[in-house]
Amino acid sequence: MRVIISAAGTGGHINPGIAIANKIKKEEPDSKIIFIGTSRGLETDLVPRAGYELKTLEAYGLKKKITFTNLKNMIKTVASTRLAKKYIKEFKPDVVIGTGGYICGPVFAAATANKIPSILHESNAYPGRAVKMFAKKVTKVLVGFEAAKESLSKAKEIVVTGTPTKIKKIQLTDKRKQELINELGLNKELPIVLVFGGSQGAKAINDAIIGMLKENKIKNYQLVWATGQKQFDIIKDELSKNNIRLDNLQNCKVLPYIYNMEEMYALSDLIIARSGAMTITELAITCKPAIFIPLPSVGANRQEDNARVAEKLGGAEVILNSDLNSNNLSEMLNKLTSNPNLLKKMGQNINKLEIKNVEDKIYEEICSVVKK
């Protein structure tokens, strides 16, 4: 099978593309796969690191506001269709797959013009503009949430497959659990809350936690707080101004990044995080209740839409980024961590979003499109 995968911008777009590529290679080792992205997104690191060739072109997101820069970027994006056609003509793919981002515009315009079978995968509960734009033109649309189907009524065919992720649910042995608790300097008697905002961190979440530490609000539970690499030293300096040292905190372990996420999910009782599609997928798999603080957007509020799906099921609480502060986060933490039965029920509820055998389902749909 010869496959072009279009993915750009964030890990939420690129990692599902890589997972799909890996699945194809696992099932068909002789497959040839290339990625098309930009020269400025995370794809320049993640795609070559995964062992795949990356072709680049210029593409930009659509903006509602009309400015000279936006018009110039729009012209560049449309012009990139010509280069995308060149890549397709040279590579001769059996199928073109898109996993989100502005890159899908020129790539799928080129695929449609060349009558190449095409598949779009949308991880979010409510699809982005590029997916909506091309849904009626591509061969098939795969979605991560059942709710996404409501916005894609014009699509030829929609299949709910879920979103691929490397995270699996694991059960820690008593020995390993105690080792982790000791390594983190935690108390095995108190609930553990895992806090993260992605690899770069989330300033609003970090600021709220800083406020809680300054006001000594963290008492009946404990935090494992991943600040993000770039914000770690800034936070360390900010807390030192209040004579708070990271290595001397009570009920709080501060880390720049977490590498053993499967173990940390298994260790934790509650999660505080943004609500990207990948995060919700991981929490559904691991049955972990959450307090979501959606990343705000000038355009479509995809993260809030994702969070509301989990909230509606009773698997999460939501605090909007603009409303977040140390007081309301502390109040919600006290309410949830003081009720183990509620946390257990929330974990069961968010698990309702889990879709089994995601990669197998996606591979089957790809094969069906290629065979046609």
Structure tokens that stand for 77 in this block:
């994006």
User: pLDDT class for 11, splitting at 50, 70, 90?
Assistant: confident
Looking at residue 198, its pLDDT comes to 74
Plot region of 120 (φ>0 → left; ψ -120 to 50 → alpha; else → beta): beta
Looking at residue 154, its pLDDT comes to 84
Residue pLDDT, tens place only, 88-116: 999 999 999 999 777 888 898 899 999 99
Looking at residue 187, its pLDDT comes to 94
Residue 22 reports pLDDT greater than 80:
yes
Looking at residue 118, its pLDDT comes to 95
Residue pLDDT, tens place only, 200-229: 779 999 999 999 999 999 999 999 999 998
Contact of 106 with 77, CB cutoff 8 Å = yes
Looking at residue 12, its pLDDT comes to 82
Residue pLDDT, tens place only, 30-72: 999 999 998 888 899 999 999 999 999 976 665 556 665 666 6
Looking at residue 66, its pLDDT comes to 67
Helices (H), 3-67: 11-27, 43-49
Residue pLDDT, tens place only, 338-347: 999 999 999 9
Looking at residue 101, its pLDDT comes to 72
CA distances for 207 relative to 20, 120, 222, 231, angstroms: 36, 37, 17, 11
Looking at residue 352, its pLDDT comes to 97
Q: Which residue reads 């699809």 in tokens?
A: 127
Q: What is the pTM of this model?
A: 0.86
Residue 299 reports pLDDT greater than 60:
no
Sorted by where each starts, the structural domains of the chain and their CATH numbers stand as 2-162+356-371 (3.40.50.2000), 174-353 (3.40.50.2000)
Average the pLDDT over 295-322 and give the result: 90
User: pLDDT class for 183, splitting at 50, 70, 90?
Assistant: very high
Closest by CA position to 333, among listed 224, 210, 202, 223: 223
